[in-house]
């Protein structure tokens, strides 16, 4: 078990390194350089030359990459080209803000998805089941920005003007100090992610409920509640964990669009800004972060899968 | 649950999806009707104005001399003041200076500082501050935005305790115009970005790049009574929908840059007011006069005749603009308004092209969303050109690419300019040594006229030279100037003091010293 995790971690580091290389090359391939991007139409040759010198863009490409890599290994994410400040400082508050969004969306959608999936599996073929299936299918088919805009129209600007449509936390004040501004972004992410979890949970749960050991448990007269929580759920969780992992990993990237739509001051917005400014250091830091979330979440899913599957569990420990 | 309710839930979801497609358009149709009346009477003191401003990002700055994006410009306009600037009608208005006079030969300009102008910390503005400001702008190691248009400025020297002399290396008849730029704000000699001090109506309070900045009333401001607001909040928005939704849900009091397609929709909402300003902002097609086929003047003339200008205004700007006549600087006193208005003439365009040996012309037009309407203008032009047998291939790139290495070398592209008067515009874009000579315009007769006009202090004589220069551009220039774009913004009905502004800067030229809040809020 420990060896498996260790091996996976080593591979993860290699994957992360590859990601940095690819992103670095990709940002170089983007036409235009940071100085021109920052200055826009105000770019005079003199201003461009001055900014080039200031930003250290005159150094060769490989040197800039190695400098950056050396910094990352020692915990220094470098200096943002656009803001002229340390990347860590630029992203610190934004990472926290995005994490709040992610964790809230993940917890709510996982809990809701598991509960709703189990509930509908127990009511297979009934109206409630059909209703939830149909609704989840429709919602799952909608892209996140459509859901987001629909929610804004419904709950903020037109039908029921209840909630703020954009996030306007004053500087220095964390976003969670105004919970009402979090509702719409979180709800959007939940609506995107929960349907998949619900559907997967319903499918696996149905299968498990039809299996021999659940029938056996019922025949033994174990109360239904215990049958579900002790016998059915643990077996259904394994496969569902994989789907949850994929969804949570998607969340890490999906926040970009949602943050853009709700003007949420997280890493997604910073990423768009950084790409526009050709701010390589910030793009690198954020993609590294998102890649890391992907890897960690998938690793966790595999561990859950192994722990809940006795066959795998014994294989690995052997 | 009955089957009916199931269907209705699905319908509901589909309905939401349909709503979503139209986005803010529909969100403006319904809405609350708690409309307050527009404020009247004398301005009221106090309150906080929250403004949504388009653009900006991590490179945002409080630097007075290098504003690049709209939020930068809005901050600069409220924190700092140049010696003089343009008022809402695009007339020169004295600010930190109370007067500016030229010597008879146009080589020395003397500014007299306004009595009682103080910086945010209460210190009076001295000639030493003005000299230091221009030294900072012209710093050879780090020239600021304004330096490019001040190349004729030799030195700035004090003349007594209230006067400053600008000594020029060549005579300039319109040096006041060059000094009247928002990026030439006067700052103290000991200025540092940690203490962004100027003479503007508001003092800096907080600033977070890419997100928002707040300002408080400058109690030392020289205009009695102003500003009326206690606090000003400028909030960055990168996305159109987010900005409009923020206005509709009353999270901000005013926004700049309303997409023209939404103007009528927002106008029908009685909680909101639309501010539409006629400006001298233009969005030309730029033809490089040194590259085939545009090096043939007949091709340039033909392409100018291909454009249906009224249709451009209607389709690209939804009517929010005025027809152009291939001339810029419409508010310049010397504007050649008596040249006949050019109209679409396909037959003549075809004849000119045939004479030039291009009976079927195939050209590439490079476009980018450099300004609202730019890409749409390229598409409409593509359609209009078909009638004259011209195939226009529209190549769309992103804005950073457009202004990247190839900017200034595209054969046929577009550009975007704010309001300027004639000579400053020529210095920026129509001379061989201009920083943005997009058309590679290099006409000896034109250069001669402009060079003479720059030195001519006599106004009537200068006007006649400029009229002749404009006629040359009208006949053989490389710009297709089909129209002038209105600046369209929106604000809540309880906001007062925002008026149409000709400079092309949004929301009253971002001049919030005159803004105040009615009681309806």
Q: What is the DSSP letter of B371?
A: S
Nearest Cβ partner for B404 among A32, A44, A265: A32
Please tell me if residue A40 touches chain B, with a CB cutoff of 8 Å.
yes
| Span A224-240, average pLDDT | 84
Nearest Cβ partner for A131 among B6, B142, B251: B6
Please tell me if residue B387 touches chain A, with a CB cutoff of 8 Å.
no
- Per-residue model confidence (pLDDT) at position A232: 86
Whether A146 sits inside 8 A of B21 (CB atoms) is yes
Residues B492/B497/B501/B505 CA torsion (nearest 10 deg) = -60
Q: What is the DSSP letter of B443?
A: -
Nearest Cβ partner for B251 among A46, A166, A171: A166
Question: Cβ(B506)–Cβ(B512) under 8 Å?
Answer: no
> Domain segments of chain A: what residues?
2-73, 89-314
| Span A58-84, average pLDDT | 80
How does pLDDT run across B418-430, given as a tens digit for each residue? 899 999 999 889 9
* Cα–Cα dist B425/B289, whole Å: 18
Nearest residue to B484 via CA among B265, B355, B272, B327: B327
ipTM above 0.85, yes or no: no
Please tell me if residue B30 touches chain A, with a CB cutoff of 8 Å.
yes
How does pLDDT run across A190-225, given as a tens digit for each residue? 999 999 999 999 999 888 888 888 888 889 888 888
Q: In this predicted model, which residue has the larger pLDDT, A231 or B32?
A: A231
Residues 237-256 of A with CB under 8 A from B: none
Taking contacts as CB-CB distances below 8 angstroms, the residues of chain B near A57 are none
- Per-residue model confidence (pLDDT) at position B25: 41
Q: Is the pLDDT of residue A39 over 80?
A: no
Please tell me if residue A46 touches chain B, with a CB cutoff of 8 Å.
yes
Q: In this predicted model, which residue has the larger pLDDT, B231 or A233?
A: B231
Topology adopted by domain B3-78+200-279+485-517: D-Maltodextrin-Binding Protein; domain 2 (3.40.190)
Nearest CA in chain A to B149: A44
Whether B400 sits inside 8 A of A278 (CB atoms) is yes
| Span A115-125, average pLDDT | 89
Tokens standing for B105?
A: 């030969």
Can the peptide bond before residue B293 be classed as cis, meaning omega within 30 degrees of 0? yes
Q: What is the DSSP letter of B341?
A: P
Name the CATH code of domain A89-314 (choices 1.10.3720.10, 3.40.1280.10, 1.10.10.10, 2.60.120.260): 1.10.3720.10
- Has domain B81-184 been given CATH number 3.40.50.300? no
**What is the CA angle A210-A215-A217, rounded to 5?**
135
- Per-residue model confidence (pLDDT) at position B520: 62
Residues 439-498 of B with CB under 8 A from A: none
Whether A127 sits inside 8 A of B238 (CB atoms) is no
Whether B148 sits inside 8 A of A44 (CB atoms) is yes
Please tell me if residue B12 touches chain A, with a CB cutoff of 8 Å.
no
Percentage of chain B modeled with pLDDT above 90: 73
Task: For residue B15, give Cα distances in angstroms to A157, A185, B11, B36.
Answer: 16, 20, 6, 31
Whether B249 sits inside 8 A of A164 (CB atoms) is yes
- Per-residue model confidence (pLDDT) at position B164: 96
Q: In this predicted model, which residue has the larger pLDDT, A94 or A49?
A: A94
Nearest Cβ partner for A165 among B17, B66, B246: B246
The alpha-helical segments, DSSP class H, found in B43-202 are: 70-79, 127-138, 175-179
Whether A154 sits inside 8 A of B16 (CB atoms) is yes
Domain with CATH 3.40.190.10 in chain B: 3-78+200-279+485-517
Nearest CA in chain A to B27: A158
How does pLDDT run across B458-469, given as a tens digit for each residue? 999 999 999 999
- Per-residue model confidence (pLDDT) at position B425: 93
* Cα–Cα dist A212/B152, whole Å: 92
- Per-residue model confidence (pLDDT) at position B207: 92
- Per-residue model confidence (pLDDT) at position B521: 57
Please tell me if residue B401 touches chain A, with a CB cutoff of 8 Å.
yes
Interface A–B counts its CB contacts (< 8 A) at: 194
- Per-residue model confidence (pLDDT) at position A159: 81
Picking from A160-174, A273-287, B331-345, B377-391, which range would have the lowest pLDDT averaged per residue?
A160-174
Closest CA of chain B from A135, distance in Å: 7
Nearest Cβ partner for A171 among B2, B212, B397: B212
Q: Is the pLDDT of residue A48 over 80?
A: no
For residue B102, list its beta bridge partners: B109
Whether B68 sits inside 8 A of A40 (CB atoms) is yes
pTM of structure: 0.81
Residue matched to tokens 């991007």: A37
- Per-residue model confidence (pLDDT) at position A51: 75
Q: pLDDT under 70 in chain B at which residues? A: 1-36, 520-521
Taking contacts as CB-CB distances below 8 angstroms, the residues of chain A near B214 are 170-171
Whether A274 sits inside 8 A of B68 (CB atoms) is no
* Cα–Cα dist B321/B484, whole Å: 5
| Span A289-310, average pLDDT | 80
- Per-residue model confidence (pLDDT) at position A314: 66
Residues 271-310 of A with CB under 8 A from B: 272-274, 276-279, 282
- Per-residue model confidence (pLDDT) at position B10: 36
Topology adopted by domain B284-481: Dipeptide-binding Protein; domain 3 (3.10.105)
Domain with CATH 3.90.76.10 in chain B: 81-184
- Determine which of B245, B403, B418 to mutate to test the interface with A (most A C-beta atoms within 10 Å): B245
Closest CA of chain A from B348, distance in Å: 35
Q: In this predicted model, which residue has the larger pLDDT, A41 or B83?
A: B83
Residues 229-248 of B with CB under 8 A from A: 235, 237-239, 241-242, 245-246, 248
Task: For residue B217, give Cα distances in angstroms to B41, B119, B204, B228, B312.
Answer: 22, 13, 9, 8, 43
Domain with CATH 3.10.105.10 in chain B: 284-481
């Amino acid at each position: 078990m420990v060896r498996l995790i260790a091996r996976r971690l080593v591979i993860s580091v290699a994957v992360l390194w590859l990601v940095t290389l690819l992103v670095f090359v990709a940002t170089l391939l983007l036409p235009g350089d940071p100085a021109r991007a920052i200055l826009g139409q105000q770019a005079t040759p003199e201003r461009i030359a001055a900014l080039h010198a200031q930003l250290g863009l005159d150094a060769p490409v490989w040197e800039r990459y190695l400098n950056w890599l050396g910094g990352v290994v020692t915990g220094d994410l470098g200096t943002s080209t656009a803001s002229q400040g340390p990347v860590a400082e630029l992203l610190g508050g934004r990472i926290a803000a995005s994490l709040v969004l992610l964790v809230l969306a993940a917890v709510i959608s996982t809990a809701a998805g598991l509960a709703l999936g189990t509930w509908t599996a127990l009511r297979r073929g009934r109206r409630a089941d059909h209703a939830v299936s149909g609704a989840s299918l429709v919602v799952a088919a909608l892209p996140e920005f459509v859901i987001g805009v629909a929610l804004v129209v419904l709950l903020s600007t037109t039908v029921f003007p209840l909630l703020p449509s954009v996030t306007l936390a004053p500087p220095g004040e964390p976003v969670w100090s105004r919970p009402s501004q979090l509702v719409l972004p979180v709800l959007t992410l939940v609506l995107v992610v929960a349907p998949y979890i619900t559907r997967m949970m319903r499918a696996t749960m149905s299968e498990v409920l039809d299996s021999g050991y659940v029938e056996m448990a019922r025949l033994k007269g174990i109360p239904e509640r215990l049958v579900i929580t002790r016998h059915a759920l643990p077996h259904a969780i394994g496969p569902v964990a994989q789907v949850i992992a994929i969804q949570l990993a998607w969340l890490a990237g999906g926040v970009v669009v949602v943050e853009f739509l709700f003007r949420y001051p997280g890493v997604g917005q910073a990423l768009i800004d950084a790409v526009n400014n050709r701010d390589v250091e910030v793009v690198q830091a954020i993609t590294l972060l998102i890649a890391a979330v992907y890897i960690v979440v998938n690793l966790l899913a595999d561990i859950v899968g192994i722990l809940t599957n006795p066959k795998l569990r014994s294989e690995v420990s052997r | 649950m009955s089957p009916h309710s199931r269907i209705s839930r699905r319908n509901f979801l589909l309905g939401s999806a349909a709503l979503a497609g139209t986005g803010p358009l529909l969100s403006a149709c319904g809405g609350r009707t708690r409309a307050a009346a527009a404020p009247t009477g004398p301005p009221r003191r106090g309150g906080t104005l929250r403004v949504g401003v388009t653009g900006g990002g991590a490179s945002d700055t409080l630097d007075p001399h290098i504003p690049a994006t709209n939020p930068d410009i809005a901050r600069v306009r409220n924190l700092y003041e140049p010696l003089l600037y343009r008022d809402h009608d695009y007339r020169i208005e004295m600010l930190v200076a109370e007067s500016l006079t030229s010597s008879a030969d146009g080589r020395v300009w003397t500014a007299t500082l306004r009595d009682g102008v103080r910086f945010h910390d209460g210190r009076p503005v001295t000639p030493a501050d003005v000299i230091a400001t221009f030294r900072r702008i012209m710093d050879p190691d780090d020239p600021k935005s304004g330096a490019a248009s001040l190349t004729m400025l030799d030195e700035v020297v004090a003349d007594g305790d209230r006067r400053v002399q600008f000594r020029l290396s060549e005579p300039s008849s319109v040096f006041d115009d060059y000094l009247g730029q928002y990026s030439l704000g006067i700052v103290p000699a000991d200025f540092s970005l940690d203490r962004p001090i100027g003479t503007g109506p508001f003092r800096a309070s907080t600033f977070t790049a890419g997100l928002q900045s707040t300002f408080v009333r400058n109690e030392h401001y020289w205009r009695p009574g102003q500003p009326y607001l206690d606090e000003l909040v400028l909030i960055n928005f990168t996305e159109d929908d987010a900005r409009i939704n923020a206005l509709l849900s009353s999270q901000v009091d005013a926004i700049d840059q309303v997409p023209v397609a939404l103007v009528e929709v927002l106008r029908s909402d009685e909680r909101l007011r639309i501010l539409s300003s006629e400006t001298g902002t233009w969005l030309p097609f730029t033809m490089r006069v040194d590259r085939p086929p545009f090096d043939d003047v007949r091709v340039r003339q033909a392409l100018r005749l291909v454009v249906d200008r009224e249709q451009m205004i209607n389709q690209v700007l939804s009517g929010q603009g005025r027809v152009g006549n291939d001339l810029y600087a419409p508010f310049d006193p010397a504007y050649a308004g008596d040249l006949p208005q050019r109209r679409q003439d396909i037959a003549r365009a075809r004849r000119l092209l045939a004479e030039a040996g291009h009976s079927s012309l195939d050209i590439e037009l490079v476009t980018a969303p450099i300004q609202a309407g730019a890409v749409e203008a390229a598409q409409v032009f593509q359609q209009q050109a078909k009638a004259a047998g011209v195939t226009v291939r529209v190549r769309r790139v992103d804005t950073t690419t457009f202004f990247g290495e190839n900017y200034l070398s595209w054969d046929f592209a577009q550009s975007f300019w704010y309001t300027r008067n004639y000579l400053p515009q020529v210095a920026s874009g129509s001379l061989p040594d201009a920083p943005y000579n997009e058309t590679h315009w290099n006409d000896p007769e034109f250069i001669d006229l402009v060079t003479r006009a720059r030195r001519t202090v006599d106004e009537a004589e200068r006007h006649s030279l400029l009229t002749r220069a404009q006629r040359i551009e009208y006949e053989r220039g490389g710009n297709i100037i089909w129209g002038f774009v209105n600046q369209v913004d929106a604000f809540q009905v309880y906001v007062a003091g925002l008026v149409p502004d000709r400079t092309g800067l949004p929301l009253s030229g971002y001049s919030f010293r005159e803004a105040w809040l009615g009681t309806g809020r």
